[in-house]
């Protein structure tokens, strides 16, 4: 079992150092003895490195988290509802909104984990408080209160003795 890509590469490197010193029947020598001849036959690398990793675009949901390989990573809640670009490679997860970096996390290789930046959590609390404090209590409308005797006079009712 490997803990991370770095752990895999370390174990593979140790194994290859041992295995590549053994003589191969097909080659007639050890692979490490052929490195010089192989390098002489290789072409040079292209000047630009190839694009690697994972990239997607989405609208940031209200919970201000993006999912990458079954793990959730927090994003600054100030961009909730905006379209964000999520880029992940073997080491990092970056989130951009309008070209500006709004989240940068170390990528984790466990599954079903939630990674929260304390600054994002605090910003969410501030925005939540601001949202709920902005709602003011409903003010009862001011309505003119008339005297009931005005209705009695309008309808011709005499309280003391019948009809006026």
**pLDDT tens for residues 81-126?**
999 999 999 899 999 999 999 999 999 988 999 999 999 999 999 9
To the nearest whole percent, how much of the chain has pLDDT over 70? 96
Q: How far apart are CA 158 and CA 164, in angstroms?
A: 5
| 109-49-34 Cα angle (round to 5) | 90
pLDDT at 51: 80
Question: What is the spatial distance between Cα 66 and Cα 58, in angstroms, rounded to a whole number?
Answer: 9
Whole-prediction pTM = 0.61
CA distance 100 to 118: 19
DSSP helix/strand/coil, 78: helix
């Amino acid at each position: 079992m490997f803990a991370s890509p770095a752990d895999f590469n370390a174990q593979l490197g140790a194994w290859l150092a041992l295995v590549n010193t053994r003589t191969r029947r097909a080659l007639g020598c050890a692979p490490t003895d052929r490195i010089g001849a192989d390098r002489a036959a290789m072409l040079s690398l292209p000047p630009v490195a190839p694009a690697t990793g994972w990239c997607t675009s989405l609208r940031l949901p209200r919970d201000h988290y993006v999912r990458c390989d079954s793990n959730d990573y927090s994003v600054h809640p100030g961009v909730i509802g905006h379209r964000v670009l999520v880029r992940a490679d073997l080491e990092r997860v970056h989130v951009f909104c309008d070209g500006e970096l709004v989240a940068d996390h170390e990528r984790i290789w466990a599954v079903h984990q939630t990674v929260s930046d304390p600054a994002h959590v605090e910003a969410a609390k501030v925005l939540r408080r601001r949202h709920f404090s902005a709602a003011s209590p409903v003010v009862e409308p001011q309505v003119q209160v008339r005297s009931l005797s005005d209705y009695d006079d309008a309808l011709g009712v005499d309280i003391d003795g019948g009809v006026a």
